Structure 1
Amino acid sequence: MRQLVVIERFCLTGHILSLVFGLAGLLLVLPNPEFIGTLPAFGQALFGWSMAGGGVVYILLGAATVALYAYRTLGWRAWLLFMLPAIGLSLSSELLGTSTGFPFGHYGYLNGLGYKIAGLVPFTIPLSWFYVGLSTFLLAWVGLEAIGMKGWVKTIGAIAVGALLLTAWDFVLDPAMSQTAYPFWEFRDPGQFFGMPYRNLSGWLGTGALFMSVAAFCWRNTTITLSRSQLTVPLIIYLVNFAFGAIITVNQLDARFWIPTVIGAILGVLPAMGLWWLAKPGDGSDAGTSTNDAAQPRSETEKATALKGSVPNVPVAVVSKSSS
């Protein structure tokens, strides 16, 4: 488990550094082409590669971070029961959106985010839905439970709040990725809400609520207990991805775009931090628990010892193969 933590932290660090490097390239280097011209041939080639593949790298590292985190703290079953619906349903929604205009409005992806599935949707897009979506859902799930919500009330609340946090990210992501000097997608029917169609926001809310509902149904018999320290990775993932879009938006677009940025912060950043704070402090351990994936003794001796501890007066020899 310790090795998984090391790999997870490595991926998280790489994810953050990739976002910082992307910001430097988009905000400092590309607007100053004379600087690029002073680089040696190797530097120019490296910069060209980073601009072409940087978006793919940061999304892959973000997805790897959250996948490892979920496997380690929730167990493989709860992890997959969220990841597979999130990827499958968000990809379906994106393919439908780029083909018909429903549910996000008419839009299309440009270059820079990797191979396009069916020539329409970069393969990295559903991965981003997964890793940010799981982060927001866990913050909502644990935070609402900490204030006493139980059963279906907590489930519905977690879906609603998780989808809202996810949509709040789009308040800064869409302007940054579609209306700046170096876009990654474009709306073919610019809308009234700072260039975004209103149905783009409802599409985000609906898509997030859909795959979170499926995951919540699959988790209905699962008890997940995470402390505040164990929620730090989801909080960091959410905050750094929100900050990435917000910094680009307020730096490359006019002052009007402070409005969606502030709205996004009010609906997303502040509630996310509040939900994290509501979680129980815990004992400092970094391992979560899930009733469906409880750790099992690995050796015969451990199995025998565990069984002896749970069944009084049963000799170890009765349950140990090695002693038969």
Structure 2
Amino acid sequence: MAAGEVLRLLWGTVVYRPYVYVFLACFLAFALWQLGWKRTLTFALPAWAIAFAAEYSSTRNGFPFGPYAYFDGTRTRELWIANVPFWDSLSFVFLSYFSLALAAAVRTPRAARAEAPWPALLAPSTPLLGGLLMMLLDVVIDPVTLQGEKWFLGRIYAYPGDGFWFGVTAANFAGWFAVGAATQWVFQQALLRLPWCRDPWRRLPPVFAWAVLGTYAGVLGFMLAVTVAIGDLRLAAVSAAVSAATLVPLARALRPARALLAEPGA
């Protein structure tokens, strides 16, 4: 494919999927501030490659997301790589970053959140929480993207049978957890081993962790708004409950510990 055609299709992706690039811009703003450009690229490129490989594999042999197929009706209007739309695997990059950053934030004591990097960012168990947070995003995202023909997304993909969660299969959720945890673990290993990842870190203001939570909540809020707009109120109610059950504990984990009240007469 000629370079000019690639650029035309890439621009078509921006035109037809502007919401993806809004969240991608948020990722760049947050990651460049927290990680610097070298570590941002070190996160983004492997994360995209892992996500693309997972999607490419699943559409052929069902691993790790379970079997499904994309409909290539937009192939002449936006960028596809093989049988996978570029924007779809690109979405995993910012979703995985915000899940990892949020997992590291809630596992780092508030007094240590000005440190660089956050201590929990390198904790071996953090990608497990990050993978869970990424999977919880998909619990809200996938049922409404599966109905893309009812909104501006368009009919993008389908599973061969009805899944247990509003048409989405359990294998898909397991795959999201696995891909999220894998991309975050790979980044951790890069931080520990690659020389360009040892550059000085920028100290972060306390509000940074709350801004990460706000952006994570923004993804859920956008998908909830679409769910309401297409009139699937039962799904909207369930997704709102899942969102609340996810966000409330995270917000509580970010709050400073309450000071103990002094006893009367002390």
Q: So what's the TM-score if we normalise by structure 1?
A: 0.61
Size of the aligned set, in residue pairs, is 227
Q: Is contact 2:68-2:160 (8 Å) kept?
A: yes
Q: Is contact 1:175-1:195 (8 Å) kept?
A: yes
1:184-243, CA deviations, whole angstroms, 9 ceiling, x for partnerless residues? 332222212221111111010001000000011122376675333223443332122111
Q: Is contact 1:66-1:234 (8 Å) kept?
A: no
Unaligned residue ranges in structure 1 (runs of 5+): 1-50, 280-324
What is the aligned counterpart of 2:217 among 225, 239, 255? 239
Q: Label 1:233 to 1:135 Cα distance change in 2 as closer, same or farther (>3 A).
A: same
**1:72 corresponding residue in structure 2:** 33
What is the aligned counterpart of 1:209 among 164, 181, 194? 181
Q: Distance in 2 between matches of 1:152 and 1:132?
A: 19
Unaligned residue ranges in structure 2 (runs of 5+): 1-11, 113-117, 258-266
The aligned runs of 1:50-129 (5 Å cut-off) are 55-110=16-71, 111=73, 114-118=78-82, 120-129=83-92
Q: Distance in 2 between matches of 1:129 and 1:229?
A: 24
What is the aligned counterpart of 2:93 among 130, 135, 141? 130
SS at match of 2:108: helix
**CA apart distance, 1:168:** 0.8
1:111-138, CA deviations, whole angstroms, 9 ceiling, x for partnerless residues? 56932210x2111122211112111211
**1:143 corresponding residue in structure 2:** 106
Q: Label 1:234 to 1:152 Cα distance change in 2 as closer, same or farther (>3 A).
A: closer
Higher Rg of the two aligned structures: 1
Q: Distance in 1 between matches of 2:252 and 2:90?
A: 26
Q: Label 1:72 to 1:152 Cα distance change in 2 as closer, same or farther (>3 A).
A: closer
Q: Is contact 2:227-2:236 (8 Å) kept?
A: yes
**2:137 corresponding residue in structure 1:** 169
Q: Distance in 2 between matches of 1:115 and 1:191?
A: 28
**1:228 corresponding residue in structure 2:** 206
Q: So what's the TM-score if we normalise by structure 2?
A: 0.73
Q: Distance in 2 between matches of 1:215 and 1:274?
A: 27
Identity, % of aligned positions: 24
Q: Label 1:65 to 1:53 Cα distance change in 2 as closer, same or farther (>3 A).
A: closer
SS at match of 1:106: coil
Q: Distance in 2 between matches of 1:79 and 1:230?
A: 16
SS at match of 1:156: coil
1:55-102, CA deviations, whole angstroms, 9 ceiling, x for partnerless residues? 522212321331233223321222122112211101111111122222
| Higher mean displacement: 146-155 or 107-116 | 146-155
* 1:234 maps to amino acid: V
The aligned runs of 1:299-318 (5 Å cut-off) are none
Q: Label 1:277 to 1:126 Cα distance change in 2 as closer, same or farther (>3 A).
A: farther
* 2:163 maps to amino acid: G
Q: Label 1:59 to 1:199 Cα distance change in 2 as closer, same or farther (>3 A).
A: same
